[in-house]
Every structure is written in structure tokens, then in C-alpha cells.
Amino acid sequence: MTRTNLKIIMLKKGISVSQLANALSVTPMAIYDVLAGNRRSEKIELFLADIFEMSISEIRAAWRNNVKERPVITPEILNQALETFGIKVKAV
């Protein structure tokens, strides 16, 4: 999983980093710092774990994985992305 996968999950859920920050009364930079592992905040970590439905260590590993490898595009993630953008694909 990579940062791109996390962004697709956020798109699917209709949320942005700014919206997460507003919900927690923190800055978007605080969210990015926690995602990158540069900052610890139990409140933000628990919220992110709930949003992404995975542990904060998995989220951070995916966030850091952005440069090292290409996004993992599973059929489920592809379908989520297509649905998010309203793209219909004909079955072959």
C-alpha cells in the first residue's frame, strides 16, 4: 500500500486532510506530520486509524512508501477509484 492508496481511500470516503484537521481542531500540517511519523498525537492517530480502518503503523508505512514503489492497484481499489470519479467501464 502507498500514499496514493490512502488518498484513494480518502476520496472514496469524501474526506480531505483539511476536513480531518477541522474535525479535530488542528492544522492540516499536524495531520501530515502525524501521517509521516514526524509527530505523535494520540487524538490524531486514533482518528486516522478509525478513518482508514488500519493501524497507525500501517498508515505511516503506506504514507512513507510513496517514493519507493508504485501504487498497489488491486481490483477493489481500481473499482473504488472508478466509482469515486463516476467512470463506468463496460465488461468485456
- Domain presence at residue 31: yes
- Domain presence at residue 92: no
Q: What is the pLDDT of residues 77-86, one digit of tens each?
A: 777 777 777 7
User: What is the total count of domains within the chain?
Assistant: 1
- Domain presence at residue 35: yes
Q: Which domain holds residue 29?
A: 3-84
- Domain presence at residue 90: no
- Per-residue pLDDT, 5: 85
- Per-residue pLDDT, 84: 76
What CA–CA distance (Å, rounded) separates 85 from 20? 21
Residue 7's pLDDT band, with cuts at 50, 70 and 90, is confident
- Domain presence at residue 91: no
Amino acid at 11: L
Q: What is the pLDDT of residues 36-75, one digit of tens each?
A: 999 999 999 999 999 999 999 999 998 887 655 565 677 7
Look up the CATH number of the domain holding residue 34: 1.10.260
pTM: 0.70
What CA–CA distance (Å, rounded) separates 83 from 64? 26
What CA–CA distance (Å, rounded) separates 85 from 77? 12
Q: What is the pLDDT of residues 10-42, one digit of tens each?
A: 988 889 999 999 999 999 999 999 999 999 999
